[in-house]
Amino acid sequence: MSNSRIAAGIEYCGRDFQGWQRQAAGATIQRAVELALSRVADAPVTVICAGRTDTGVHARQQVIHFDPPVPRPERAWVLGANVHLPEQVSVTWARTVDVGFHARYSALERSYRYIILNRDARPGLLTGRVTWECRPLDELRMQAAAQALEGEHDFSAFRAVNCQARSPIRTVTRLEIVRNGTWLMIDIRANAFLHHMVRNIAGVLMTIGMGRQAVSWAQTVLDSRDRTLGGVTAPADGLYLTGVKYPAEFGIPDAEPGLWPDALIAAE
């Protein structure tokens, strides 16, 4: 057994997977990654991720760690794993890190982006990779409502009924809505997230953006701490884990800069 630890970045389209977490049956990202790394090591490999994503949710940069059973060059973990991964999943980098690093517990913040195509016609090229809403959305109303959700709050009204987190208290450090033509993007950053928290926030903001509820409704839902008042959970299609922030001493790279998601949007 090697006494080192490897951290790695994983990029994936979750459309054809039943979420991150390994299950008894069905395709999952964790199972695919573990099988691929095990082929490189020629021995079983178990990975820990920064945040488990649900069925149909995507990631620009999921972060994992594993303790390799045999030594391999960092480049070998990347290239070797990608040979054995399905085409929707890619290991983008690998780093040797201190054994005190933990992909989940060492994380300071996590960031998500929710992408909405807001036009009459449904998507063609990006089916399953963005959320379509044909009713006009007012991003100014959505941004005004979002202000109530920034900061430290009890997000019980925005968590799934089966959420297993011990505490509903989370700190949202950024919640911004940006429009680019027919595209709306909800960017949210927090110390951690509850099960379905981002999709439930998106559902509330979209309902307000449609004019079906007042801007103040976001505050009302938050204060209620009652999930039954929180409206519809937005679809998984448009949700991306965009990055995870760690203390600088671990040397974990940020998600690569570039045109994303402009390149994704340009494809449509």
pLDDT digits (tens, 9 = 90+) for 231-256: 889 999 999 999 999 999 999 998 76
One CATH from 1.10.1060.10, 3.20.20.70, 3.30.70.580, 1.20.120.80 for 5-106:
3.30.70.580
Q: What is the pTM of this model?
A: 0.93
The pLDDT of residue 197 is 96
| Residue 30 parent element (H or E) | helix 29-41
**Residue range 9-58, pLDDT digits in tens:** 999 999 999 999 998 888 999 999 999 999 999 999 999 999 999 999 99
Distance in angstroms (rounded) separating the CA atoms of residues 245 and 268: 30
Q: What phi and psi values does residue 215 have, to the nearest 5 degrees? A: -55, -35
Distance in angstroms (rounded) separating the CA atoms of residues 268 and 257: 21
Distance in angstroms (rounded) separating the CA atoms of residues 255 and 242: 7
**Residue range 54-106, pLDDT digits in tens:** 999 999 999 999 999 999 999 999 999 999 999 999 999 999 999 999 999 99
**Residue range 180-205, pLDDT digits in tens:** 999 999 999 999 999 999 999 999 99
Contacts of residue 12, defined as CB under 8 A and 6 or more positions apart, other chains included, come to 29, 58, 59, 62, 88, 89, 90
Pairing of strands 5-12, 239-245: unpaired
Angle 111-30-98 from CA coordinates, rounded to 5°: 70
The yes/no answer on whether domain 109-241 falls in CATH 3.30.450.20 is no
The pLDDT of residue 232 is 87
**Residue range 8-20, pLDDT digits in tens:** 999 999 999 999 9
**Comparing 5-106 with 109-241, is the CATH topology the same?**
yes
Q: Where are the domains of the chain?
A: 5-106, 109-241
Could you identify the residue written with the tokens 């201190």?
A: 98
Which one from 16, 42, 54, 154 is the annotated catalytic residue?
Answer: 54
Q: Is there a catalytic annotation at residue 262?
A: no
Q: How many CB atoms lie within 10 A of CB 20?
A: 26
**Residue range 141-174, pLDDT digits in tens:** 999 999 999 999 999 999 988 888 899 999 999 9
Contacts of residue 66, defined as CB under 8 A and 6 or more positions apart, other chains included, come to 5, 6, 8, 37, 45, 46, 47, 48
pLDDT grade, residue 2 (50/70/90)? low
